[in-house]
A and B are shown apart, each in its own frame.
Chain A
Amino acid sequence: MKIRASLTRRVIGRATTVTAGIAISALALSALPANAANDPGVTDSEIVLGMQLPQTGPASPGYNKVDDAMRAYFDYVNSKGGVYGRKIRLEVKDDTYKTGLTITTASSLINKEKVFAFIGSVGTQTHLSVVKDINRRGIPDLFVNSGYSGLYTTPSKYPTTFGGLGTYVSEAKILGKYMKATFTTEKIGILYQTDDFGRNTVAGLATAGYTFEARKTAATFVAGTQAGGLDAQMTQLKDNNVDVVVVGAVASAYAAAVASANKIGYKPKKWVVISVGSDATTFQTILYTKGIPLASSAALLAGTITSSHAPAPSDATDEFVIAFKKINTDFNKGPDKNWDNNVLQGMNIAYQMTELLVNVGKTGVTRKNVISYLEKNGSSITSAGFAPLGYSATSHVAYTGFWVGAYDATTALKPVGATRQMWTTDSDAGPVTELTWTRPAIGADSLPKGFSAK
């Protein structure tokens, strides 16, 4: 059934003459609000944005810093007068990474907080539980913190949803190319969760020429069961003499896999992990809760190969890192403002959102305009990323390129070569090629180009 109706859109109008007293009050109440021409969440003085993520619970480590970082950047923008005089207010809901809760938190953001747009929401399964409804209502769903390609590669399915990360498919393709060149004799195996994340990873590696044998070189688990350990999966890979383990799973699973491998004495030559799964903060926090000291977990992470679209947070020479670190220091009011990749990602999304609001213009802040702008001009939105956004009318994929790196003993991600080499590809069967693209400089005063408070 494709017919949909927005009652709020169609029913608004003047009430007809009524005769009962009860209906007379109805007439009085039906007057339109003064700013009826504006979309929800937008006034002359404010723009309200909504976000949901696990702020608490087992899935929260690391991710729970993204919202505070975003708010810090918006507070910085507000301290400069806001975008065309409009202050940005970020309303955040904790869904604890439970999809049932995501549905109610999304409803609250839409109906109570009256958000103009969703921004930076975290989590694939959680977001999939509400994405259809958000799109149905025509609400912009921007810079989503999920790499699942299915959210972005068919805009007709989710027309208002735009990514905030590169896709797992493209990342796996680029990692696959690196592996082909690097691990010429090693036996490659994979650990993946049997859902969208894992499916994307396997698909990306397949285009790089890797196939895996079920129950031998391919070990699987159902996402959500990793808390009980992944001993069986690690034993399987060990028994099949896998030298290099690719991990297409969340960080808690990678941590569980490393812990299990450690426990059974399995020492693969390399771990190659999709970036979401190798976040250092998340990895170390989870292992810390299992009694593994930070120094030990740093040692376990060291050598792990992963990729990134953005500078490493440890890159003290990067102008975005320098700017965002300062803003984080000055404006972040969260409980854990320690600078890391999650903070960088939050700041980056807030910077992109600010640029989007700048670019649509003072009178152009409507849901329709935002979507239209991103499809027509979104690829020009600047950020800390070393690859352009892939936004167009036919794709809502964010970053189209990654560089490959390895964690050192201090949990800093360093390029695998002498210098950072960017690679680009699509989320389909296209080739992986070198990316020669120069990232635009950060705007003056750490604000996007064209920023105006008036």
Chain B
Amino acid sequence: MKTLNVRKSLAIVSAAALLVGATALAIPTAGAAAAAPTCKTDVKTNVETCTGALSNGAVYEIRVPHANFHGSMYFWAHGFRPTYAYPGYTPPNGKTVEELTPFSANTGKNITSQMLASGRAVAAFDRKTNGGYNWNAAESIPLMKELVDIAKAKYASSLKKVIIYGSSGAGPLITGFNETYPGVADASGMMAGATNVSAALRTGCDLFYLLSVFADPNIKGCAAFGAAKGVNGHMLALQQLGLAGAVLTAWSKNLGAPALEYPAAIKPYGIPQRSALLLIGLLGGLPTKSSHMDGITTNTVIAEQSINSTVAILENFQDALGTATFTGQSIGEITGAGFYDNTKTDFSSLLTDEDAARFNLGLSGDDGINLMLGALKAAPRITGTPASVANYANLYQPTYASTTPMVLLSNEADRLVLVGNAVQYNDRAQAAYQARLDKWNAQTGVKKGAKPQPNTLSIYAITPETYTKYTAAGLPDLAGAPAVSGVGHQSFTVKQSMTWVALMEISAYAGRVPSATVAQKYLAKTPYLSSDLDFRPGELKYEK
């Protein structure tokens, strides 16, 4: 890791991060009725584009390929964007629709042309007000409903199926929409969706805390978020990110070999920084693969697979912290400062036996593990503010009561919205479906109501088996092209995205997600989409 450099702290925020908008989905009534759209048809392509503004002034756009439109319209919601401007970033202004269809961070392309070419209509709106805490479910759900109503009115005869889909921080919008307006969407989808914001943020807060224990006691992390609001609070939050980034930069040098300086109790034992880095990553459930590190390949410098995974965690870490920073500050403004409390956290329990064995060498063996966990147990904890902690505990969670088909698409090594979000959502939704089915089956005599249908399918983009490349000096090449699949956030190939789109459409027409056989047929034809419908590439560390 001698010359590995973490990315600039702020670079990460161009990617999406998490945000849920309110402690509960209190859906406001839509404002004044929106004006009818202004439409124009391209005579060459026969694609009609309609634009207009929703009742709050937010702009929207609809495109319909009349030449081959077969009735499905997809309503897109992109992920979280930071609230305030900083060098190189300008918050959305609501004057344009930033994303009409899913955009891939890796390829730099959306799939608008492919969707239109395949006879699917597309639609999206964007916010009027800037930034994070305004891009929330409470505000967006009625706006999305407005847009659906506008489209239905305009295309009353040809629009047959409504599909609501979104990415990343739009997760609560999608699930909340289905709960608020059951039956409006025929199917829905989440791409790298944040499904359990509070659990994910708690892990992010843990990451800051663990760095403070093992590297820099000046890091306050989530304890500092929400203390101030507005631009000032935003900048104070970024200071925390900067402190943590400095630690990662320091640890990335000299192959992470220098001994830990903190906590003082373990300083004499010479545990290398990289062992603490690996431990922290594992406690947080960060992916052990990254854009350039496959977790397998070794050479003379990366002498063992767990070292490869340590570099992967390093590569993922800064972005994960960025997510925690922007989410944490935004949520802190809602819940009040002091929402993070780890006085009852048993960090030892977050390291699985399997990980302790698999990464034993990187963790400096059982001795290293025991020393670090022992030091962690003895370290001072963060005590939250009761009211804020309570508010945090009440953040929105999906009810899983919706029966609208939902298809999730995730990268196995997403560094921003950990793949455990999708895994956990799938688990809970499948359990809810099973409970509905059991209840229906338990009826005696003539059964009332329609038989519940399976309504959740979670699919995963996977990485190639190996893809780490090395420089002439034998160091991992972190500047080259990332893995072709399975890494990054909202980074999917066009083919992967279109398979997801197709599976949502099948669900919309069938009223249930495709059977395993059907789904696997589609997945098998798409490079690097796993056909394993029981795949679990990661788990969130917390329930809430």
Contacts and interface: CB of A to CB of B under 8 A. Distances in A.
A1 to B, nearest CB: 6
Interface residues of A, number: 55
Contact of A16 (B296, B430, B511, B543): B511
B142 interface: no
A7 B534 contact: yes
A20 B505 contact: yes
A11 B510 contact: no
Given A128-B353, A132-B354, A194 B305 contact: no
A404 B345 CA distance: 46
B176 interface: no
B367 A194 contact: yes
Interface stretch (A222-230, A278-286, A342-350): A222-230
B221 interface: no
A110 interface: yes
Interface in A126-140: 128-129, 131-133, 136-137
Contacts of B512: 15-16
Contacts of A198: 366
A20 B296 contact: no
A352 to B, nearest CB: 26
Interface stretch (A22-30, A73-81, A304-312, A406-414): A22-30
Given A110-B532, A128-B354, A222-B364, A7 B516 contact: yes
A99 B361 contact: no
Interface residues of B, number: 64
Given A1-B543, A128-B357, A30 B518 contact: yes
B126 to A, nearest CB: 30
B454 A10 contact: yes
Nearest to B430: A5
Interface stretch (A100-108, A179-187, A287-295, A371-379): A100-108
Given A26-B518, A30-B517, A222-B365, A129 B354 contact: yes
A35 interface: no
A223 B515 contact: no
A4 B532 contact: no
A7 B365 contact: no
Contact of B431 (A5, A17, A133, A136): A5
B433 A10 contact: yes
Interface stretch (B78-86, B235-243, B420-428): B420-428
B358 A128 contact: yes
Contacts of B360: 125, 194-195, 222-224
Interface string A291-305: 000000000000000
Nearest to A138: B534
Given A128-B353, A150-B353, A20 B365 contact: no
Interface in B498-516: 502, 505-506, 509-516
Contacts of A10: 430, 433-434, 454
A341 interface: no
A30 B517 CA distance: 5
B160 interface: yes
Contacts of B428: 1, 3
Interface in B338-377: 352-354, 357-358, 360-361, 364-368
Nearest to B537: A103
A98 B434 contact: no
A18 B72 CA distance: 13
Nearest to B511: A16
Interface string A112-128: 00000000000011001
Contacts of A12: 515-517
Nearest to B309: A100
Contacts of B72: 20
A194 B365 contact: yes
Nearest to B366: A194
B517 A29 contact: yes
A125 B434 contact: no
B278 to A, nearest CB: 13
Interface in A1-57: 1, 3-8, 10-20, 22-23, 26, 29-32
16 contacts: A3-B428, A3-B430, A5-B427, A7-B454, A7-B457, A7-B458, A16-B511, A18-B509, A22-B505, A23-B509, A30-B515, A99-B305, A100-B288, A194-B360, A220-B365, A222-B364
Given A12-B517, A23-B506, A107-B532, 7 more contacts: A1-B543, A7-B457, A15-B518, A98-B296, A99-B358, A129-B357, A222-B368
